[in-house]
Amino acid sequence: MDEIVNKVIKGEIKFYRIEEHVGNDVNIASEIRRKVLEKMRDISLKNIGNYSMDMNLTAKRNIENSIGCAQIPIGIAGPLKVTGDYIDEEVYIPLATTEGTLVASTNRGCTAITRSGGAKSKIIRDGITRAPALKVPDLEHAYKLISWVRENHQEIVKVFDDTDPFLNLINIEPWIVGRTVFLRFRANTYDAMGMNTVTRGARFACDFITQEQPYAKLISESGNVCVDKKPSAINWILGRGKTVISEVILKKEVVKDVLKTTPESIAELAYRKLFLGGAQALTLGFNAHVANIIAAIFLATGQDAAHITDSSMSIVTPEVTEDGDLYIAVTIPSLETGTFGGGTGLPTQSEALAIIGCQGPGDPPGAMGKRFAEIVAAAALAGDISLLSAQSALHLTGAHERLGRGHV
Amino acid sequence: MDEIVNKVIKGEIKFYRIEEHVGNDVNIASEIRRKVLEKMRDISLKNIGNYSMDMNLTAKRNIENSIGCAQIPIGIAGPLKVTGDYIDEEVYIPLATTEGTLVASTNRGCTAITRSGGAKSKIIRDGITRAPALKVPDLEHAYKLISWVRENHQEIVKVFDDTDPFLNLINIEPWIVGRTVFLRFRANTYDAMGMNTVTRGARFACDFITQEQPYAKLISESGNVCVDKKPSAINWILGRGKTVISEVILKKEVVKDVLKTTPESIAELAYRKLFLGGAQALTLGFNAHVANIIAAIFLATGQDAAHITDSSMSIVTPEVTEDGDLYIAVTIPSLETGTFGGGTGLPTQSEALAIIGCQGPGDPPGAMGKRFAEIVAAAALAGDISLLSAQSALHLTGAHERLGRGHV
Amino acid sequence: MDEIVNKVIKGEIKFYRIEEHVGNDVNIASEIRRKVLEKMRDISLKNIGNYSMDMNLTAKRNIENSIGCAQIPIGIAGPLKVTGDYIDEEVYIPLATTEGTLVASTNRGCTAITRSGGAKSKIIRDGITRAPALKVPDLEHAYKLISWVRENHQEIVKVFDDTDPFLNLINIEPWIVGRTVFLRFRANTYDAMGMNTVTRGARFACDFITQEQPYAKLISESGNVCVDKKPSAINWILGRGKTVISEVILKKEVVKDVLKTTPESIAELAYRKLFLGGAQALTLGFNAHVANIIAAIFLATGQDAAHITDSSMSIVTPEVTEDGDLYIAVTIPSLETGTFGGGTGLPTQSEALAIIGCQGPGDPPGAMGKRFAEIVAAAALAGDISLLSAQSALHLTGAHERLGRGHV
Amino acid sequence: MDEIVNKVIKGEIKFYRIEEHVGNDVNIASEIRRKVLEKMRDISLKNIGNYSMDMNLTAKRNIENSIGCAQIPIGIAGPLKVTGDYIDEEVYIPLATTEGTLVASTNRGCTAITRSGGAKSKIIRDGITRAPALKVPDLEHAYKLISWVRENHQEIVKVFDDTDPFLNLINIEPWIVGRTVFLRFRANTYDAMGMNTVTRGARFACDFITQEQPYAKLISESGNVCVDKKPSAINWILGRGKTVISEVILKKEVVKDVLKTTPESIAELAYRKLFLGGAQALTLGFNAHVANIIAAIFLATGQDAAHITDSSMSIVTPEVTEDGDLYIAVTIPSLETGTFGGGTGLPTQSEALAIIGCQGPGDPPGAMGKRFAEIVAAAALAGDISLLSAQSALHLTGAHERLGRGHV
């Protein structure tokens, strides 16, 4: 092994070709890469080397040039009572984070929700999207293209759907900008988040389209009207993945006892912070810190971390009811998640999904992915309830000080 | 231990109070929580239980109610030559991700960059922000308040800076919306990302301000004009954390040999995808997949994952030069990172920072944080170079198929 | 008359009730109001008093408390060759403006277009919208409401369409935010811009809906998801009024001779100004000055001036063709115009519409409104061609100096 | 005259060169152009020909190829009590519009305000902007450029200010996107809106800069970071022209008697319509119809109608006070107006300015422009108060029906 390490350092073996010299054993290759880096930098990577997965399996789907694993602590918030079309039970939420107080704060939100009878979640739209960009000679052909696509929808569906047994085209929305045409394919990918399948489907569909309408030239499989991994108005308005809402009515006594504040105080804070502040800053997100909870669940359960960008876009709406209680909801237009495929099958990720009963494909297909989304929305609601309460009671910094970080 | 497990299941011991029953040993408490969940759900959490950090230390700053750790595979892209004000060397980039092909693709971008002499990075703005919201009786008092703040800037600086040795107020930008006033404090926090310190500084400064100007009432320590963990126009335009740019000129031969495409093809793709597609979809980000690289580095190095939302906002500008080569740059307005504090001190995270020579505080203070930002921008550039090339050569799906996921 | 003037000044007759004292003659009432203001301010309003319309007619539909008219100079640009589905001829464009050089500049653009064979325009989407906001008890009822609306679409269509012979509901798009529901009604209003008819239709439809589903309470006839008279992402993405595109290929010789620049220079300018500048500033509009032309046509032809806000949102896409010529198009997603109703029937406005052959209702209904939109888009294209050319040749200020304003 | 008309129709005399054949008399040339159009289209343009200005004067600064004038009816709303730093009196607001009910509705808002003691207006920021785009070889030079600009600020000020006696540079804000640099010049232009002067100043300043730093190439005098005549986040956040706020507290009795609704009803409507609706639709403007009032005042007083796009961006904030009254304010970040230059000197426009005592330059310079802005904001407030009230009382359609248009 030392010999290979030295050769890599000397440049005689490429860093990313070490597998070829060790019988394609990725665990050994990972160790060699660690040793190379340790020597080059005079550092130790023993913690990164401490992992429990078989890198040979992981390397098939999830990683290249591996050196081991990052360990991110997981805390549990809950129990959180969630009622939806696919769940009606108390769950414990696994949150992978390094931000002190986040789990404790979310936990407090869970307590307030659960004590009030639980959060109600509902998915009001579903479908992952991919929008290739095509170039046509001129406007006339642009219009001809979108007309042809509309008229031949069934044939395109067939081509698209045939690329994968768990892929069903929902619709194709076209946009024309001069002589560039964007076709936004929206598909049901059931329990998988589905980026790869929808991309392949859209690619095959576009190959079919451009074959039949050869004046159209495919410029990019992704024309950024999808939109993948960028915050955007189009996902905000039309949704991507799952559009899910979760709500609860918190009795004023619960607000007082658990959250140490009042419905009125939260509502005023929300008005000035979320809506006036959000309006002045032009945020894509009128919420307190939904991204924190989304990120923590995503990391724990093997979701694509780059999707935090737009999956965390959301509107939180605290309202004082006629009875003086607090109605509060979170509306998430573009939650891109799955319980199957991607990183969800890795060892710790799979276990984290199991904690909330969301491991693997659903029966019927799609049911598990929807259950998961209903839970995520409820957890996001718990997180914002707690932080809005803390800020309305002006003890945010205090909490951080007490539970959180050291001198920084 | 089994006894405590049973008590927790019966609800006799609260889930988040287990530490009190096991001599405050968080490692044991974590094990108990795992056992509880395993029993309740009839599952195994052995991988989550396999971690190499001491949870007693982690629990002080980074997590509550811990059960163990998520393991996220780390791959290495590089070597990547980066030249900046704080670096001039080849580095290997640690990327924690579960998305197959991401590391391989970024690696290809690194090859193209390094073979072309390296990326040049520069930080053009620096300073983390926090913007409390205050309510005043009316417009007259709003104006009075911001005038007073301007006139008493030095005193406010003193109050603010005194809260932490590594905190220096840069400026305070005010916005008035009706009778709500937002004061956006921008501060230098050196090598730390600095959210907590700037929050504390802003809180103390506001306490001082509202004491002196008692008509002003602090509504929220964070008025969402900061903006923290939401994509926003204000961070895009005014920056938050570090505004950093990285660029390279890729010789057309390198584009051909390494990237299998041409500068012209990339430029046309960029025009239609990034700018027309981005314009039509109204994205906060005119890039291919900068969020992927940002997310992967953030997870590996202990950055706050919720900051991926706005740290990944960026504009990528590929341009064909007069010589027929490819000039390409990434401009990132709002990179919120640190090499010290938060999750950066955890075992694997600290090691990942060591791989790029970015562990801990800098000398002078701030130098390490800046070195890190210069590297991150260069890595993001590598990632986008590769994906734009792949898409311009129309073999994205193919690459995913070959290197990537299984049947999903 | 003097007696009434004095009574108004003394406050014995209300300013807006003068008609009651002069036999409801609005022309006389207007004169009295002018006299009152002249006396109060010691000024002369003789030019405002110089108008050729009968205020008694105008007061029925277009104005209250009238004092006369603003006179805004109209210049003519053209001839402009426009080809579309509703036009194939050269027209002269009436532009009401007070900005020196605007007509001359647009005229130059018309010359370049016409000499190149004319602009081709196409409407790719049509329908005015109105989105009332309804409050429901909770998420379950929100979902129930939108389900009911979907299931009872035909009945709602009947109620909606019955309110006006020239009103046809196209679709209803729902959004749920917590327990607030927005129903965006999109309708065909033929040659009229149609705001009032669609508002009335939506109101009656909502009355029907809330009668059948009494848990839903109408909060506002307009819930700002319409969106009327505010720039917005939703109109940008989904369109409002007419989505229309106009394009032309300008031969490089024409670019040189008429526009004094080159296709390459315009394309580079467009890239840095429209797309990089637009991206950095986050503009809703990637164009040079489409608003100038839209505004000038709107004022001349009696369109609603407040609609300039979003009717001018547009993307201009100059591209160098393989032959070295300039392809350029303007894409306008949300053009809210009509040739019938509103201010279009007033004397000078009606005459301005006659100049372009767009006066009154079309045959078949809708044809005139579409012809008008096709012309407007072509004129906007002419305007941007000229200004982009001028800026690319760096003689903008010069032109202003020469043709334009005095010492300011 | 008929001979010339015939020659123009035959194409022997160009449409825009008629002046040369009639001794440069623009009034006669206008008549000839009307006759040409009348013959070509078989129409009458007698109303357009009925105007009271001398086109020979107008043609020097405001129009080319003139044919006459559009007449737009002006109605008066008021009296409106406005208190600001430059005004403390009751004024009558001239509104040029063709939208029935607009004047009556605004008038009602004026009554409510005036009866409550008047609106208080304040300008909190002032300065028109222009942002040229420059191209530099690379990032290093981009940074060098903005550093040089910062270090040589005083010299640039001198060059800039020397171009006009009423032009003072306030600051220069730089943005770098890859190798494109935007320099946003902000200047005080006193009573003039100042677009032309700031453009000329920026042009001369850039000529000076590129002479001293010759690696920088001016690409466009306007790089769309200005932003002129496009809605944009940058104007929303940083302001352009005047940032002005106007507020009033309406007693609940006034809300009831004059506006036929309650503070609570308006506040709930505002929450769901302005903030939730605005958030869902992503509007640049959280208001009811500020654009209507802005447009009507702009047309009456000779402001640039294309500036309605961003001058109407605003946030309206109705809040129930502790006493049960209604606090309401409008915050307008980017009001681009003047009382001098542009179209303000034309006959009817000048008279309309005189009605509100805002004609011509101020003493001291700037005072008149500020007085005007204070009035405009108060009028916008009156407009939104009335429409929000009407919608909260659900009688919008009714009012339109009663006062407004005929069968369309």
Q: Print pLDDT tens along chain A (408 aa).
A: 899 999 999 999 999 999 999 999 999 999 999 999 999 999 999 999 999 999 999 999 999 999 999 999 999 999 999 999 999 999 999 999 999 999 999 999 999 999 999 999 999 999 999 999 999 999 999 999 999 999 999 999 999 999 999 999 999 999 999 999 999 999 999 999 999 999 999 999 999 999 999 999 999 999 999 999 999 999 999 999 999 999 999 999 999 999 999 999 999 999 999 999 999 999 999 999 999 999 999 999 999 999 999 999 999 999 999 999 999 999 999 999 999 999 999 999 999 999 999 999 999 999 999 999 999 999 999 999 999 999 999 754 444 443 444 322
Q: SS3 helix, strand, coil % of chain A, rounded to 5?
A: 45, 25, 30
For chain D, give the longest Cα–Cα distance: 76
Among residues D99, D264, D319, D351, the one annotated as catalytic is: D99
Give the pLDDT confidence of C393-403 residue by residue, as tens digits. 975 444 444 34
CA closest to C249 among chain A residues: A138
Instruction: Provide the 3-class DSSP secondary structure of residue A174.
Output: strand
Number of B to C CB contacts under 8 A, please give it: 34
Q: Do A73 and B78 touch (CB under 8 A)?
A: no
Topology of domain B74-126+241-403 in CATH is: 3.90.770
Mean pLDDT of C360-371: 97
Q: Are D54 and D68 in contact (CB under 8 A)?
A: no
Torsion of CA B247, B250, B255, B259, to 10 degrees: -40
CB–CB of C190/C369 below 8 Å? yes
Mutation pick from A71, A358, A407 vs chain B, by most beta carbons of B within 10 Å, is A71
Q: Which two tokens stand for residue B228?
A: 């923290």
Complex-level ipTM beyond the 0.90 threshold: yes
Residue type, A107: N
The per-residue pLDDT for range C252-299, each reduced to its tens digit, is 999 999 999 999 999 999 999 999 999 999 999 999 999 999 999 999
Subunits close to C (at least 3 CB pairs below 8 A): A, B, D
CA atoms D79, D83, D85, D87: torsion sign = positive
User: What stretches of A136-266 adopt beta strand conformation (E)?
Assistant: 168-177, 180-188, 217-220, 241-250
* Confidence band for B1, pLDDT divided at 50, 70 and 90: confident
- The per-residue pLDDT for D405 is 39
Please compute the mean of the pLDDT values over residues C157-175 and round it to a whole number: 98
Question: How confident is the model at residue C36, as a pLDDT?
Answer: 98
Percent of chain B with pLDDT over 70: 97
D278 to chain C nearest CA, in Å?
A: 6
Query: What pLDDT is attached to residue A283?
Result: 97
* Residue D364 DSSP one-character state: S
Give the type of residue at B211.
Answer: Q
Interface test with C, best of A177, A234, A286, A381 (most C CBs within 10 A): A177
CB atoms within 10 A of CB B208: 16
The CA-to-CA distance between both ends of chain C, in Å, stands at 41
Q: How many angstroms separate the CA atoms of B222 and A334, rounded?
A: 25
Name the residue in chain C with its Cα closest to that of D189.
Answer: C408
pTM: 0.97
Q: Which residue of C has its CA nearest to A83?
A: C140
Chain B positions touching A232 (Cβ under 8 A) are 281-285
- A178 and C329 within 8 Å at the Cβ level: the answer is yes
pLDDT at res. A354? 98
> What's the CATH number for B132-220?
3.30.70.420
Average pLDDT, chain C: 95
- Give the pLDDT of residue D311: 98
Q: What's residue D404's pLDDT? A: 44
Mark the ranges of chain D whose per-residue pLDDT is less than 70: 395-408
Position D308 scores a pLDDT of: 98
- Residues of D in Cβ contact (< 8 Å) with B328: 178
Contacts of B315 in chain D (CB under 8 A): 177-178
Mind telling me the catalytic residues of B? 99, 304, 400
| Buried b / exposed e along A168-184 (16+ C-beta atoms within 10 A) | bbeebbbbbbbbbbbbb
CA distance A193 to chain C (A): 23
> Residue C281: its chain B contacts at CB < 8 A?
237
Question: CA-CA distance, B167 to B27, in Å (whole number)?
Answer: 34
Inter-chain CB proximity B271 and C271 less than 8 Å: yes
From chain C, the residues in CB contact with D33 under 8 A are: 76
Nearest to A179 among C139, C236, C329 (CB): C329
Choose the closest CB to A62 out of B73, B231, B396.
B73
Instruction: Give the mean model confidence (pLDDT) for residues B369-378.
Output: 98
Residues in chain C: 408
- Do the Cβ atoms of D86 and C84 come closer than 8 Å? no
Q: Where in chain C is the domain with CATH 3.90.770.10?
A: 74-126+241-403
pLDDT in tens, B21-46: 999 999 999 999 999 999 999 999 99
Portions of chain B given CATH number 3.30.70.420: 132-220
Return the biggest CA–CA distance within chain C: 76
Question: How much is the pLDDT for D64?
Answer: 97
Single-letter residue type at B367: A
- Give which of D378, D333, D376, D334 is closest to D353, Cα–Cα: D376
Give the Cα-Cα-Cα angle C308, C310, C312 (nearest 5 degrees): 60
How does strand D119-130 pair with strand D66-83? parallel
Q: How far is CA D113 from CA B338, C190, C302, D9, D330, in A?
A: 52, 39, 30, 56, 13
Give per-residue pLDDT as tens, C96-118. Answer: 999 999 999 999 999 999 999 99
- Residue C331's DSSP bridge partners are C245, C315
Residues of A belonging to the active site = 99, 304, 400
- Give the pLDDT score at D159: 98
Contact indicator for D399, D259 with CB cutoff of 8 Å: no
Radius of gyration of chain A, Cα coordinates, nearest whole angstrom: 24
Nearest by CB to A103, which of B64, B100, B289? Answer: B64
| Residues in D touching C305 (Cβ below 8 Å) | 97, 295-296, 298-299, 305, 308
Find the CB nearest A286 among D279, D281, D284: D279
